[in-house]
Structure 1
Amino acid sequence: MKKPVLRKLLTGLVASLGLVATLSVQAAEPFKVGFVYVGPIGDHGWSYQHDQGRLAVEKYFGDKVKTTYVENVPEGADAERVIRTLAKTGHNLIFTTSFGFMNPTLKVAKQFPKVTFEHATGYKLAKNVGTYISTTYEGRYVAGFVAAKVTKTNKIGYIASFPIPEVIRDINSAQMALNKYNPEAELKIIWVNSWFDPGKEADAANAMMDQGVDVILQHTDSPAAMQAADRRGIFAVGQASDMSSFGEKAHILSVVDNWTPFYIKRVQQVMDGTWKSEDHWGGMAEDEIVIPAFTNIPDEVATEAQSIVDGIKAGTIHPFAGPIKNQAGELKVAEGEILSHDELAGMNWYIEGVQGNIPK
């Protein structure tokens, strides 16, 4: 064989091997998943629990997946900028984890049709946008039952964040339990217009306790209310994560969001090419809403509370089973009927027994 021919063959072989090496490197690049949080990952509530799901994804998939998160993202223009940056930097799947991220997510998704998006607590779908939510109202119903049983003053406090359907239906769910198990109990609501503001949450808790409240529920993300309740010797319910360590004497239960099963499932689906846009609701039956333990309450109350949890899991108990009337006494859900997911997703009215008006 002549040397020029041999040289050409060797050059071609090296080039081919280089191409194979390049393709191997490209194939080994990890699948990139982004997370956008409205609060800090150290809030010990909503954003903290989402981040626990992210960490579980990393552990489950190992070096096949690389995750990125951005915390403390305001709802609005900043959210759109952050989401777009993640899409531009090669993220294949992006989870946006707050209600106010809905429209920014949809806008960016339209600009990046090859990127998959999942939006938490929203209701607008697109070809490359799915929605997901946990049925926290199931946990609130159990919390309402326990509060109904342990209160001595018949005054239950509820620290609310923003008047969106998710928060309104959870207030209603707690009231449904009070109506059934202790009709004399009164639910006192304070709106703090924030997801995470420990100072406001503590102030709201103290204001409630000054009015005689002896059990506090919350739909905000810091343990400040639990800590305030512990200092003053009353009961409290943890939000989103297990807050028992923040209230040794106050804690009676925590309604925990367990995002791990959903996040692992959706990442796998996108990687496999089987992902479809859908509206996902996950609750106790899917182990996406969990009550780790009941503490500081009588054994018989804990036993009955667990039976309610078991009934919800089995589908024999539903917090929004009729008959249900609104504040004006008008029948909204007939006996034998249950509010659908679509009706719950748009809930903008209080049930009978809730005092006050929904803020505009």
Structure 2
Amino acid sequence: RGRKEAGLGNEDTETNVIWIKAWLDREKEQLATEALVAEGYTFIKQIADTPTTAQTACELGVDVIGYGRDVSPTAPCALATNSWNWGDYYFKSVRAGMNGTWEPHDYYEKGTKLTFSDKVPQDIQDKVNSIPLDEVWQGPIQGYGFDENGRYDIFVPEGECLIDDDLLSMQWFVSGIKSSERIEAKKFRFAVN
């Protein structure tokens, strides 16, 4: 969900992904943010582990959405952050382990908390918070997937959606997203949306 749902369309926007290929690497996060801003990008959505991306964006005067933990204490320009809350999962898993009933499984329930800046109007916050998590996970990824040369490698038919395994291992981008990395297409399975 995003610009299209807000009635802004995607035609005039471009998203660029920089892969830092590292965990907890503040220097790479800073360099990636600086590179995007130097290229003229005016908004950063971080998917890195430390608050460095958000802090760097704020220092450079660019709005940002944080990731993983609330970055607002050190990055006041952050419009929002999704924070992972593992407490519910740990509690249930430890209890199941103690009872001898624990089994490995994917877990998505009650794990995300959104924190918004005062700069985000309350009606927008309410709209975002009203979207059921199931809708987000089964969101509208339909149409063509593109490689970095602009060729489409996959087509998701209207009325169908990718299943969780495919979304979690997705190696391609939708239109409007570029990256310097080569993206290999693969066979996908679909579910009726």
With normalisation by structure 1, the TM-score equals 0.45
Structure-2 separation of matches of 1:350 and 1:332: 12
Deviation string 1:317-351 (CA, Å, 9 cap, x unpaired) is 55632523111346532222222112123222222
Residue in 2 that maps onto 1:163: none
Change (3 A) 1:228 1:294: same
Distance of 1:190 and 1:178 partners within structure 2: 25
Structure 2 SS opposite 1:254:
strand
Query: Could you tell me how far 1:237 is from its partner in structure 2?
Result: 1.3
Instruction: Tell me which residue corresponds to 1:306.
Output: 126
Q: Does 1:251 align with 2:58?
A: no
- C-alpha change, 1:193 and 1:242, in structure 2 (3 Å) is same
2:164 is aligned with 1:341: yes
Does residue 111 of structure 2 align to residue 288 of structure 1? yes
| Partner of residue 191, structure 2 | none
Deviations 1:170-227 (CA, angstroms, capped at 9, x unpaired): xxxxxx8799743311112222221212122112211211121111112211211211
Q: Deviations over 1:7-35 (max 9, x none)?
A: xxxxxxxxxxxxxxxxxxxxxxxxxxxxx
The answer to whether 1:226 aligns with 2:54 is: yes
Identify unmatched segments of 5+ residues in structure 2. 184-193
Corresponding residue number in structure 1 for 2:144: 325
**Aligned pairs, number:** 179
| Secondary structure class of the residue paired with 1:325 | strand
CA RMSD of aligned residues (A): 2.7
Q: Does the 8 A contact of 1:237 with 1:252 survive in 2?
A: yes
The structure with the greater share of residues assigned to helix is 1
> Is 1:193 aligned to 2:21, yes or no?
yes
Task: Give the whole-Å Cα distance in 1 for the aligned partners of 2:79 and 2:174.
Answer: 25
Q: Relative to structure 1, is the Cα distance of residues 191 and 235 closer, same or farther in structure 2, using a 3 angstrom cutoff? A: same
The sequence identity of aligned pairs, in percent, is 23
Q: Which letter does structure 2 place at the counterpart of 1:291?
A: L
Task: Look up the SS of the partner of 2:12 in the other structure.
Answer: coil
3-state secondary structure, aligned to 1:252: strand
Would the alpha carbon gap of residues 192 and 330 (structure 1) be closer, same or farther in structure 2, given more than 3 Å must change?
closer
Pair 1:269 & 2:96 matched:
yes
Alignment of 1:39-54 (within 5 A): none
Superposition misfits of 4+ residues, deviation over 6 angstroms: 176-180
Note if contact 2:143-2:156 (Cα within 8 Å) is conserved in structure 1.
yes
Describe the superposition over 1:79-117 as per-residue Cα deviations: whole angstroms up to 9, x where unpaired.
xxxxxxxxxxxxxxxxxxxxxxxxxxxxxxxxxxxxxxx
**For the Cα contact (< 8 Å) 1:240–1:254, is it kept in 2?**
yes
SS of the residue aligned with 2:130?
helix
State the 1:264 CA deviation.
0.6
Structure 1 residues 201, 356: CA separation in 2 closer, same or farther (over 3 Å shift)?
closer
Contact 1:251–1:296 (8 Å) recurs in 2: no
Q: Distance in 1 between matches of 2:45 and 2:125?
A: 16
Name the counterpart of 2:174.
Answer: 351
3-state secondary structure, aligned to 1:188? strand
What's the TM-score, normalizing by structure 2? 0.79
Secondary structure of 1:245's partner? coil
Q: Which amino acid aligns with 1:307?
A: K
Give me the whole-angstrom Cα distance separating, in 2, the residues matched to 1:180 and 1:312: 22
Contact 2:26–2:52 (8 Å) recurs in 1? yes
Work out the CA distance in 1 between the residues paired with 2:181 and 2:138: 20
CA deviation vs aligned residue, 1:36-56 (integer Å, no higher than 9, x gap): xxxxxxxxxxxxxxxxxxxxx
**Unmatched tracts of structure 1, length 5 or more:** 1-140, 149-175
Q: What secondary structure does 2:64 align onto?
A: strand
Partner of 1:242: 70
Structure number with greater Rg is 1
**For 2:66, what is the secondary structure of its paired residue?**
strand
